[in-house]
Chains A and B, each alone.
Chain A
Amino acid sequence: MGALPLDWGLPELTPVNQAWFTSGALAIQRCSSCSTLQHPPEEICHACGAMDFGVEVLAPRGTVHSFTVVRYPANPALADAVPYTVVLVSLDDAPHLRVVGNIEGDVQIGMPVVPYWEDRTAADGTVIRLPSWRCVRTSNDGRGL
């Protein structure tokens, strides 16, 4: 498995996504009016229409909802990165919320995973903490954290 270039597609920070990309935690957008959690964060609450938000930190646990192993590099800059695996993770504290990330090793739908954060420094010096995922150690599969 390769690794994506360190500067590949780093998110542009906005008031709406800042907590998710800088906190080093599963900091989910939480509506200040009705407490609805939503991800990806939006500019308006899908449940009540309010526009003020805080965040709620969810437990660092998830389950693989789907995945794909990308083998064709869709840009020449990704030629050394393929194959890489993209997972869609359902968060255990709020299973209707799904998060995209990378993972290494064999992946199966339904597999438990935990997040970790990789720091990236954007061209303007901003430090981005990108959540990604790894398999949970179990007693008999020999895969380590």
Chain B
Amino acid sequence: MRGNAVVVGVGESTYYNRGGATESEFQLACIAIRNAVADAGLSIGDVNGFVSYMERNEPVRLSAALGTGDLDFTAQTFGGGGNGAGAAVTIADAAITARYADCVVVFRSLAQGQFHRYGQAGRAHRSRGAGAFTVPYGLSTPAQICAMQTMRYMHDHGVTQDSLAEVVLASYAHAQRNPRAIRYGTSLTREEYHASRWIAEPLHLYDCCPENDGAAAMVLTTPERARDLRKPPVAIVAGAHGVEHRDGVAGFGEDNFPTAHHRHVGRTLWARAGVRPSDMKVAQFYENFTGPVLMAIAEMGFCAPEELNDFVADGNIQWPNGRLPINTSGGNLGEAYIHGFGNLIEAVRQVRGESTCQVDGVELSLSVSGPGYAPGSAVMFGKA
């Protein structure tokens, strides 16, 4: 099954550390969207749809401020995290394929310096719902929850702390070539990783996504409209957005605990794309925390859990010599944490040949979003 929509533009604001943005979050969103539309060679008046996830900058306000056309489609996904990043692309693809709109902006803007910080626990005097069973014990943040998953996963499959480090080291190494990256010019050694403070064992500081301010966007349209635009279109070869029955159920009650919730996404994506993991030369894996990245690599079918240590060791996930370079822009850890949107843009850039860690001969380019949260999502981009 081949999606009908194509990506014709990508763009972002300047990326900042938390609190460093000189623009408001809404202004950052407008800047990223304008840049993506300009990259496409379209006019802002061509835009007639918006899709996002966990977004507070609403389409009507954006449309009025930017001067889009009449809006034909707007949507957001369910789910409390970056698991919605790839999902947003699949929703826009579905809208365009169904002809509800023909020029849809998918975007995310996130200025943690201007709103609440992720990873903090509210001063909860009362906990409700499923949280009533965890919050009283001091278990509420994503880092703590993913630490609980990762601890068991390492125990079950012999995954080492050094393998967690490899994910971080790859992102930092790749960020050294990307001038957009917040960690550009800031290297990290294995020793510095191991010496960094614990957040929630087995997660060190560097295992956790940073807090940033910024926005990023891409423009999707129909293949017909894409023909005379500025750059060659990038196809959405396949998308997957879902979860295996009961994965992600409250209270760590999955039969398969711990899971990144990506087994079903993986099976679905490969079947729709008609290719196998071994066909991939590059991939982007959303890094909320390193443990879920490793779990997602295995659940997406790249290796068995017991093979993860070898899969990521010896530079195997680093550009230029690794067999599967991941997070080639620096990813969430090295480029910027814009809730995983940068992973999507980098996957598009790898198809275009525009990455600062460009892999040779990329025909297919994978982005996997939001491991550890459900429903998960993934998108396969490719040459149109």
Contacts and interface: CB of A to CB of B under 8 A. Distances in A.
Measured as residues with beta carbon below 8 angstroms from the partner, the interface class of chain B is 35 or more
A109 B138 CA distance: 19
Contacts of B255: 96
B361 interface: no
A66 B147 CA distance: 9
Interface string A66-86: 111111101101100100101
Interface string A90-133: 00000011111110000001000000000010110000001010
Listed from nearest, the 6 A-B pairs whose CB atoms lie closest are A11-B132, A9-B135, A66-B152, A74-B121, A68-B147, A9-B124
Nearest to B250: A40
Interface in A47-74: 65-72, 74
Interface of B: 119-128, 130-141, 143-144, 147-149, 151-152, 155, 197-202, 250-253, 255, 257-258
Given A9-B125, A12-B127, A68-B200, A102 B133 contact: no
B101 to A, nearest CB: 37
A4 B137 contact: yes
Kindly name the residue among B133, B143, B258 whose own CB sees the greatest number of chain A CB atoms within 10 A.
B133
B141 A74 contact: yes
A10 B140 contact: no
B200 A71 contact: yes
Given A66-B258, A69-B198, A100 B137 contact: yes
Nearest to A13: B132
Contacts of B132: 11-12, 17, 21, 40
A88 interface: yes
A12 B198 CA distance: 31
B125 A86 contact: no
Contact of B144 (A20, A65, A86, A102): A86
A39 interface: yes
Kindly name the residue among A8, A97, A99, A123 whose own CB sees the greatest number of chain B CB atoms within 10 A.
A8
B144 A98 contact: no
Interface string A19-56: 01100000000000000001110100000000000000
Contact of A123 (B125, B144, B201): B125
Given A17-B132, A75-B122, A109 B257 contact: no
Contact of B197 (A4, A21, A39, A72): A72
A70 B200 contact: yes
Contacts of B128: 11-12
30 contacts: A4-B138, A8-B136, A8-B138, A9-B124, A9-B126, A9-B135, A10-B125, A10-B127, A10-B136, A11-B128, A12-B126, A17-B132, A17-B133, A38-B253, A39-B133, A39-B253, A65-B152, A66-B152, A66-B155, A68-B144, A69-B200, A72-B197, A75-B122, A78-B121, A78-B138, A86-B138, A100-B252, A120-B136, A122-B126, A132-B137
Interface residues of A, number: 43
Contacts, number: 137
A96 B253 CA distance: 7
Contacts of B152: 65-66, 88, 109
A102 B137 contact: yes
A71 B198 contact: yes
A7 interface: yes
A102 B138 CA distance: 8
A67 B139 CA distance: 10
A134 B147 CA distance: 21
Contacts of A99: 133, 251
Given A9-B136, A96-B255, A77 B123 contact: yes
A10 B124 CA distance: 8
Contacts of B253: 38-40, 96-98
Contacts of A102: 137-138
